Amino acid sequence: MTSKDLSIFNSLRPFSIGFDDMFDQFENMLGNGGLSMQSNYPPYNIRKTGKDNYSIEVALAGFNKNDVEVEFEDNLLTIRTKQIDKSENKDVNGEIIHKGISQRQFSRSFTIADDVKVNGAELKDGLLRIACERIMPEHKKKKLIEIK
């Protein structure tokens, strides 16, 4: 018997149609019965900025837009550092004597719903903002059914 056979989501599958991908995503996030240990770095906020608009804000002090990449593929939004050259201790402002601002490697992922579109990203004042918008398909919008 595998851990997938023992999954709590398998008991819900007979009562749902079309939610298999969602159940699989929850199983991957929960791992073996508990949340997998994930780093708290970098810290982030998820903000609702309008009725159907969201913003993911990631604190990236010490990074510039050339150090970070944002990738969206198969409902997974991933923010990660590019390879940082640690051999160089000099930047345009001079030699670094003490490095207290962290620039460690990281990767943070967010699962994005099928009906949410990622509109763009901006890194300003040490804060990466990723704009998202929920696009409601016509077949999911509220409609009044005429009775004949």
Q: What would the CATH number be for the domain defined by 39-87+97-148? A: 2.60.40.790
Residues of the chain under the 70 pLDDT cut: 1-39, 84-92, 102
**pLDDT value at position 34?**
44
Question: For the segment 107-131, what is each residue's pLDDT rounded down to a tens digit?
Answer: 999 989 888 999 999 999 999 999 9
Domain boundaries, the chain: 1-37, 39-87+97-148
Per-residue pLDDT at 84: 61
pLDDT at 16: 60
131 strand-pairing partners: 55, 120
What pLDDT score does 104 carry?
A: 80
Q: What is the pLDDT of residue 56?
A: 95
Given a contact cutoff of 8 angstroms between Cβ atoms, the answer to whether 103 and 41 are in contact is no
Q: How far is CA 146 from CA 46, 137, 143, in A?
A: 40, 20, 9
> Which of 50, 46, 77 has the alpha carbon at shortest distance from 59?
46
Q: What local confidence, expressed as pLDDT, does residue 7 receive?
A: 63
User: Closest by alpha carbon to 91, among 80, 82, 107, 103?
Assistant: 103
pLDDT of 87 reads 55
